[in-house]
């Protein structure tokens, strides 16, 4: 198809009797428009100009970069496209490919010498994957980059799903419809599904298969159940993952293979390897290791089969607070767990043995404590913590048959969500400005400020906020009305007095109501 710069030479050769104006300015009577239409519609794109008898302006219609008409000369052979009596462009029976930019250009060397119209055709999305092949193979630890791109009008919404593991929230990994992972792990392997929808037609779906090569991943778990005549059964489950062939086996405490026999049955289903014990006795107690091997190496995980609880699994339930930390604890045992014990110590007191703090969580603490032979799970809010402090911690589970092994974990408390420096900033904004608080701050707020900066108003090491604060609170001493009388923030505390950091509240609402 002819291009615009080619046309002029072509047209000049065909119209040798016509002088193409070089120095005349063209005046357009038509304004540029965007046409929102539907498939099958017809449309007329106007292009009116002021043309005197002396002018020999010639209109050229261009779709994106391809010429459709040069004057009355047809370049494009599509029968749906034609010219009107005044040189307007007509298109009948719109199809998806008609969604484009149409330019009416006049053979004048003086700009502006063209106008543009846009045709927008809503329709179902079209989807493509990054990479186009839909297959990615990376080594464990290498970067992983995949994505889905949707076209069509209006813009599409793209949702993601991991086809092999519904527990993975893929949308947390997605940014701008792409997944960019700095160091791929086995959990990132599998098939990803991306679906695009924009309200027109059916949603469109495509898939990307990711292989992460490396040593296998192994995860074991234990489940108890009631057997015949009051006996107990145990099921050891091992779930492995490897994108290359490998072998998996169960090992006893002494390193010998666990074999299928009278007391234990071995089952394999895909990447799930199960060892089932019937009528568990003390001779079955011990550590059982699931070992998986491929050409990249060996990985193993061990589960304890015993009357006492398994080592607790400790997880953070929500983001850290400045003075509290919410955790969940779970363990498995054939007999009900009576309590959990937590031992915590601030890392800065690591040399002081007596700084360990013991917390007992009794069975009655949570309504979701254990039923016979099942997982015992509960949550607990550790309070009275110091802000901005890292803690060392251990947890154990206890039942009538014994105590589990120790599970170690650590955590760090956060900066106060509205700590004193931030309150100071609020007071700075208030100074000389209309009050932002619904009522004057109380003396507890003053104490909060003093706790951070000391009773003499000097900074206590937070150099981000300068040295000596020069802020003053707004409000009357008695807290009556909204009297705009300034007073030093440390006034009223007394010589040498400092407030406890817990006076720093976690929200402005707390500051409003604490009087």
The reply to whether 198 and 251 lie within a common domain is no
The reply to whether 381 and 298 lie within a common domain is no
What DSSP character marks residue 15? -
Rounded Cα distance between 200 and 207, Å, is: 21
Give pLDDT, residue 377. Answer: 86
Rounded Cα distance between 332 and 312, Å, is: 8
The reply to whether 179 and 224 lie within a common domain is no
The reply to whether 333 and 359 lie within a common domain is yes
The reply to whether 436 and 509 lie within a common domain is yes
Give pLDDT, residue 469. Answer: 35
Could you read off the pLDDT tens digit of each residue along the chain, which spans 515 residues? Answer: 444 454 453 444 344 444 555 567 888 999 999 999 988 999 999 999 987 766 678 899 999 999 999 999 999 999 999 999 999 999 999 998 999 999 999 988 888 889 999 999 888 889 999 999 999 999 999 999 999 999 888 889 999 999 988 778 888 889 999 999 999 998 899 999 999 999 888 999 999 999 999 999 999 999 998 888 888 999 999 999 999 999 999 999 999 999 998 789 999 999 999 999 999 999 999 999 999 999 999 999 999 999 999 999 999 987 668 899 999 999 988 888 999 999 999 988 777 767 899 999 987 544 444 455 567 789 999 999 999 999 999 999 999 999 999 999 999 998 865 444 433 333 333 333 333 333 333 333 333 333 333 333 333 333 333 333 333 333 333 333 332 333 333 333 333 333 333 333 333 333 333 33
Rounded Cα distance between 201 and 379, Å, is: 47
Looking at the structure of the chain, the number of domains it has is 5
Give pLDDT, residue 21. Answer: 52
Domain of 148, CATH number, reads 2.60.40.10
SS3 68: strand
Q: Which of 385, 412, 439 is the last residue of a domain?
A: 412
The reply to whether 508 and 424 lie within a common domain is yes
430 is in which domain, residue-wise?
A: 420-513
**What is the value of pTM for the model shown?**
0.57
The reply to whether 239 and 190 lie within a common domain is no
Q: Which residues of 125-143 are buried (b: 16+ CB within 10 A; e: fewer)?
A: bebebbeeebebebebeee
φ, ψ of residue 154 to 5 degrees: the values are -70, 180
Q: Which of 412, 442, 459 is the last residue of a domain?
A: 412
Rounded Cα distance between 415 and 386, Å, is: 10
The reply to whether 192 and 236 lie within a common domain is no
Q: How far is CA 302 from CA 7, 249, 251, in A?
A: 77, 12, 9
Give pLDDT, residue 490. Answer: 36
Rounded Cα distance between 348 and 392, Å, is: 10
Give pLDDT, residue 372. Answer: 54
Q: Which of 391, 386, 409, 392 is CA-nearest to residue 322?
A: 386
């Amino acid at each position: 198809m002819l291009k615009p710069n080619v046309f002029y030479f072509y047209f000049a050769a065909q119209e040798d009797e016509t002088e193409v104006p070089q120095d005349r300015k063209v005046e357009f009577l038509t304004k540029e428009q965007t046409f929102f239409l539907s498939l099958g519609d017809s449309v007329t794109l106007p292009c009116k100009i002021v043309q005197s008898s002396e002018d020999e302006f010639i209109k050229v219609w261009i779709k994106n970069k391809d010429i459709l008409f040069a004057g009355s000369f047809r370049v494009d052979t599509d029968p749906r496209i034609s010219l009107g009596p005044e040189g307007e462009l007509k298109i009948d029976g719109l199809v998806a490919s008609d969604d484009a930019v149409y330019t009416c250009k006049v053979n004048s060397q003086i700009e502006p010498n063209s106008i543009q119209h846009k045709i927008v055709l809503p329709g179902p999305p079209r989807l493509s994957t990054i990479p186009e092949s839909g297959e990615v193979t990376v080594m464990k630890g290498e970067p992983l980059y995949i994505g889905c791109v949707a076209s069509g009008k209006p813009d599409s919404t793209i949702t993601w799903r991991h086809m092999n593991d519904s527990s993975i929230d893929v949308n947390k990994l997605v940014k701008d419809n792409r997944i960019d992972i700095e160091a791929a792990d086995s959990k990132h392997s599998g098939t990803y599904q991306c679906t695009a929808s924009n309200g027109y037609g059916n949603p469109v779906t495509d898939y990307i298969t990711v292989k992460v090569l490396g040593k296998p991943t192994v995860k074991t778990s234990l489940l108890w159940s009631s057997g015949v005549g009051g006996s107990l059964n145990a099921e050891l489950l091992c779930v492995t993952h490897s994108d290359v062939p490998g072998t998996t086996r169960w090992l006893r405490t002494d390193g010998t293979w666990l074999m299928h026999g009278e007391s234990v049955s071995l089952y394999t289903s895909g990447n799930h390897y199960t060892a089932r014990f019937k009528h568990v006795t003390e001779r079955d107690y011990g550590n059982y290791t699931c070992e998986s091997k491929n050409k990249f190496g060996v990985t193993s995980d061990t589960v304890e089969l015993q009357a006492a609880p398994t080592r607790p699994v400790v997880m953070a339930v929500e983001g850290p607070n400045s003075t509290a930390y919410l955790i969940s604890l779970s363990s498995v045992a054939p007999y009900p767990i009576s309590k959990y014990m937590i031992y915590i110590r601030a890392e800065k007191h690591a040399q002081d043995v007596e700084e360990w703090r013991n917390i007992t969580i009794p069975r009655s603490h949570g309504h979701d404590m254990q039923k016979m032979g099942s997982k015992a799970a509960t949550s607990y809010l550790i309070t009275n913590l110091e802000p901005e402090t890292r803690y060392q911690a251990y947890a154990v589970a206890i039942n009538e048959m014994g105590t589990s092994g120790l599970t170690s974990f650590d955590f760090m408390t956060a900066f106060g969500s509205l700590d004193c420096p931030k309150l100071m900033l609020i007071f700075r904004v208030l100074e000389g400005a209309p009050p932002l608080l619904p009522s004057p701050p109380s003396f507890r707020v003053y104490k909060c400020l003093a706790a951070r900066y000391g009773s003499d108003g000097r900074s206590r090491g937070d150099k981000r906020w300068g040295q000596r604060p020069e802020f003053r609170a707004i409000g009357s001493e008695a807290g009556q009305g909204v009297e705009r009388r300034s007073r030093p923030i440390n006034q009223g505390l007394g010589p040498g007095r400092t407030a406890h950091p817990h006076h720093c509240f976690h929200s402005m609402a707390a500051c409003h109501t604490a009087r």
